[in-house]
Chains A and B, each alone.
Chain A
Amino acid sequence: MGSEVPHVAVLASRVRYEEKQIMAALERRGVRFARLDPRSLVVTEGTRWEGARFVLNREVGYFRALYAAGTLESAGVTLLNSAEATRVSGDKWHTSAALVRHGLPTPRTALAMTPDAALDALDQLGYPAVIKPLVGSWGRLVTRLSDRETAAAVLEHLAALPSPQSHVLYLQEYVPGAGRDLRVLVVGGRAIGATYRRGDQWRTNVARGAVSERCPLGPDLVKLAEAAAEAVGAVIAGVDLIEDRDGRLTVLEVNDRVEFRGLQEAHGAAIDVADTIAAFLIERAGT
């Protein structure tokens, strides 16, 4: 590799608050880095990769993130998170399976291969239940099904969607909480901060206007969040949890390309998420 090629890179097509903060942190630390835009990334099998050897994956789209990571890894590049972590945590079913396999608390979940099978699965899970898209989201198309009649109508709409993936249905029991969920940020395998997210709807995604408030990092929360990140193989993760009415914590999902604006703003100067991620990347890259 030529000495002019930066050792580290940030993979991102869309430079949002998070990517900008991470790149600014790398600059403050005096690290030369490249930004790889997956929209123009081409890797040809059998040719030598001349780019960065350590890449932070911040691509917003699941499939581009997954294929770019896998392709770069096959060229000998180290990805943070790994392509496998992106594969598992970017897909809700793979995440649920990993959490169950590791014995971690998570809502009862079923996967149905057709809308008809989904109705049967929902009869087993009971109502209310939740249906979620397997990938992506920001809360989009996440629907609470109050009864069988509602479920049949929603499934009929999903059956009419053109994407075959829309016909594979992720179904989950609805866990009534306290109108809030929790987000724990894990960097380098360690929980560094947490927030409560409260919204005026049952979905508490910050992308849907939920408000983040600082949450104390208690030992049970730390242990569970770190275990959930490890279960999906992620070293940088946003772990979403909910407390049921009895105060028991259960893991909803793990995000490998985590958004942290709400958590950062809730903590002010108490933590610097972007700098913590930058420092971890530098440490792993040995830069």
Chain B
Amino acid sequence: MQQVLNGAECPECATPVELAENATVSEIVECVGCRSELEIASIAPPMLVPAPDVEEDWGE
């Protein structure tokens, strides 16, 4: 996996995704390469996983 300064590789398309300085675990970010929704699984080391699919009871 490529080391990305202040970020991690997109698990879907391997595009480097930078994380904001105030990024937090479980935050949802979007990959600039493939537009996938990603969840920040870890800050140190930075790790991204595909965000969970929207479930039937989500929303307002």
- Provide the bound-state CA to CA distance between A255 and B24, in Å: 25
Would B28 and A138 count as touching, CB distance under 8 A? no
- CB of B21 within 8 A of chain A? no
Partner of B55, one of A61, A255, A258: A61
In the complex where A24-B22, A137-B60, A238-B60 touch, is A15 in contact with B55 (Cβ < 8 A)? no
B23-45 interface with A by 8 A CB criterion: 24-28, 39
A-B pairs with beta carbons under 8 A, tally = 55
Total interface residues on A, using CB and 8 Å? 29
Contact with A along B43-60 (1 / 0, CB 8 A): 000000001100111111
Q: Mark A250-285, 1 if CB is under 8 A from B, else 0.
A: 000101011100000000000000000000000000
The secondary-structure label for the interface of chain A is loop
CB distance from A270 to the nearest CB of B (A): 23
Q: Which residue of A lies closest to B56 (CB)?
A: A136
CA distance A138 to B28 in the complex (A): 18
Q: Are A207 and B59 in contact (CB under 8 A)?
A: yes
Which residue of A20, A137, A238, A258 contacts B27 across the interface (Cβ within 8 Å)?
A20
* CB within 8 Å of B: which A215-269 residues: 238, 253, 255, 257-259
- In the complex, chain A residues whose CB is within 8 Å of the CB of B56: 133, 135-136, 163
Docked-complex contact A257 and B60, CB < 8 angstroms: yes
Q: Is A214 an interface residue (CB 8 A)?
A: no
Main secondary structure of the interface of B (DSSP, over half): loop
Set A14, A61, A136, A139: member contacting B26, Cβ < 8 A: A14
Establish whether residues B60 and A255, one from each chain, have CB atoms under 8 Å apart when the complex forms: yes
Which residues from chain A contact B24 at a C-beta distance below 8 Å?
A: 15, 20, 23, 35
A62–B57 CA distance with the chains assembled, in angstroms: 5
Neighbouring A residues of B22 by C-beta, 8 Å: 20, 24
Q: Mark out the residues of chain A between 150 and 187 whose CB falls within 8 Å of any chain B CB in the assembled complex.
A: 163
Instruction: Kindly state whether residue A102 has any CB partner on chain B within 8 Å.
Output: no
Closest CB in chain A relative to B26 CB, distance in Å: 4
Q: Which of A60, A135, A138, A258 has the most CB of B within 10 A?
A: A60
Q: Determine whether the beta carbon of B26 is less than 8 Å from that of A138.
A: no
> Which A residues fall within an 8 A CB radius of B?
12-16, 20, 23-24, 35, 37, 60-63, 133, 135-140, 163, 207, 238, 253, 255, 257-259
Supply 22 A–B pairs (Cβ within 8 Å), ascending by A. A13-B26, A14-B28, A14-B52, A15-B24, A15-B25, A16-B28, A20-B27, A24-B22, A35-B25, A37-B26, A60-B58, A62-B57, A63-B57, A136-B55, A136-B56, A136-B58, A137-B60, A138-B59, A140-B59, A163-B56, A207-B59, A259-B60
Instruction: Give 15 A-B pairs besides A13-B26, A37-B26, A138-B58 with Cβ atoms closer than 8 angstroms.
Output: A12-B26, A14-B26, A14-B52, A15-B26, A15-B28, A20-B24, A20-B27, A35-B24, A135-B57, A136-B55, A136-B59, A139-B59, A255-B60, A258-B60, A259-B60
Chain B positions within 8 Å of A, measured between CB atoms, are 22, 24-28, 39, 51-52, 55-60
